[in-house]
Amino acid sequence: MWRRLHPGPLSFKVITVGGTNGKGSSVAMLEAIYRAAGFRACAYVSPHIQRFNERIRLDGQEAPDDLIVEALEAVERQRGDVSLTYFEYTTLAALHLFSQHRPDVAILEVGLGGRLDAVNLLDADVALITSIAFDHMDWLGHDLNQIAREKAGIMREGRPCVFNGERPVPGLVEAARERGAHLLIRGQDYQWQAEDEGWSWRMGERCLSGLPLPRLRGRHQLHNAAAVLAVVESLRMALPLGRDAVREGLLTAYQPCRFQVIPGDITHVLDVAHNPEAAAVFAATLAEMRCEGRTLAVFGILADKDAAGVITPLLDRVDHWCVAAPDTPRALPAAGLVEALGKAGARAVSSHGTLAQAWRHAREMAVKGDRILVFGSFYTVSAVSRLI
């Protein structure tokens, strides 16, 4: 299907970003660094928070409606009797737009897994696997080695794959060996360390010191940034850039709803954490954030997620849970949320018909100095962020 749209070779470099958590932040940093260096960068991410246009970025700007419609029409003209899923359809449209825009680099976020994901139709010049943890088990399997093999599907023979971790599961290492990919592991092939003011990064003989902390909050973003720089270094011959571009990119990269803090008398913290690994990172970052009052949570999650695993890291951080089912057939009903929180030993729980009602209840309860967390699903954050 892609060859019908574009039979010729690509005119741009491709970075494919897979993994369980950290994909969106990594894409944002890569995009910002390359744009700071003067390169034309396009990015394709999913899902969106408010508008579909968020998924397709051309030189840092959301693709306008008319270009998206034209790209979808181009896919439809070539589709014939080929059946396409929603994600396949929109991915083809995004790649068609990129080909017309002729960027220097396209940064593609995997939607689910890797091996069978629609973005994997393009061969990555460099692959980035951010993390491997349990999520989407009905699709990817219930064993980390099996999940790793699915994510390793974005690797290509003779090309680098950066892993944002120090201890890859055996399945990832084996897949890299079988595919002939060059696996770069944090702590072995590239490193970072904290400095008095900022941090430093090294890969081989290449060293960058005095780097600023990323605009994106949380210590985990330094792990993400270090892996991003390993990707940049792997492409330095084709897309050369210096320390100034790295510095500017780190300071400007932004991804909404990844520990997004909205200040005020009542502080809001929005995060799309929806699996145990992400929830643990969310809790750790909250621990670094001062709060004079209580912490209230607006929480909704999908039925196929590990609700107990997401709740547990936050139990000691949340004084009152306001729960509701997200507006999707995939949602875990409010009664299921109440049951899960009760079994976990939550301090106080209130159940609501909608997420809007849950947020309004939290807002009425809150006083100056309190904070309200909104997390559990992209659907949850999307619904509440419209109200704040």
Residues 288 and 212 grouped into a single domain: no
pLDDT of residue 303: 95
pTM listed for this prediction? 0.93
Alpha carbon dihedral 351, 352, 357, 359, in 10-degree steps, equals 30
| 215 and 294 together in one domain | no
State the Cα–Cα distance between residues 371 and 295, nearest whole angstrom.
5
Query: For position 379, which CATH number holds?
Result: 3.90.190.20
Both 237 and 276 in a single domain? no
Do 13 and 56 lie in one domain? The reply is yes
Which domain-ending residue is among 252, 274, 303?
Answer: 252
Given 235, 252, 269, the domain boundary residue is: 252
Res 85 pLDDT > 90: yes
Q: Which strands sit side by side in the sheet containing 198-203, from one edge to the other?
A: 191-195, 198-203, 206-211
Residue 41 shares a structural domain with residue 184: yes
Q: Are residues 179 and 275 both part of a single domain? A: no
Q: Which domain holds residue 353?
A: 260-385
Q: Are residues 338 and 245 in the same domain?
A: no
Average pLDDT over residues 174-186: 96
Tell whether 60 and 140 lie within a shared domain. Answer: yes
Find the helix or strand (DSSP H, E) in which 250 lies.
Answer: helix 243-252
Per-residue pLDDT reduced to its tens digit, 244-288: 999 999 999 999 989 999 999 999 999 999 999 999 999 999 999
Count of CB atoms situated within 10 Å of the CB of 213: 17
DSSP-assigned beta bridge partners for residue 127: 16, 161
Q: Based on the fold, state whether residues 243 and 276 are members of the same structural domain.
A: no
Identify any residues that bridge with 192 across adjacent strands, giving them in sequence order. Answer: 201
> Considering 210, 227, 252, which residue would you say is the last residue of a domain?
252
**pLDDT the model gives residue 143:** 81
Do 166 and 69 share a structural domain?
A: yes
**C-alpha span between 190 and 240 (Å, rounded):** 18
The answer on 116 and 79 residing in a single domain is yes
For residues 197 and 142, which has the higher predicted lDDT (pLDDT)?
A: 197
Backbone angles phi, psi at 195, to 5 degrees: -125, 175
Mean pLDDT (the chain, rounded)? 93
CB contact burial 27-51 (16+ within 10 A = b; e otherwise): bbbbbbbbbbbebbbbbbbbeebee
What was the pLDDT predicted at 138?
A: 55
Instruction: Give the count of domains, the chain.
Output: 2
Q: What is the pLDDT of residues 199-255, one digit of tens each?
A: 999 999 999 999 999 999 888 899 999 999 999 999 999 999 999 999 999 999 999
209 and 285 fall within a common domain = no
Q: Please determine, for residue 63, whether its predicted confidence score (pLDDT) is greater than 60.
A: yes
**107 contacts 43 by C-beta, under 8 angstroms:** yes
Per-residue pLDDT tens digits for 134-146: 655 555 556 888 8
CATH for 26: 3.40.1190.10
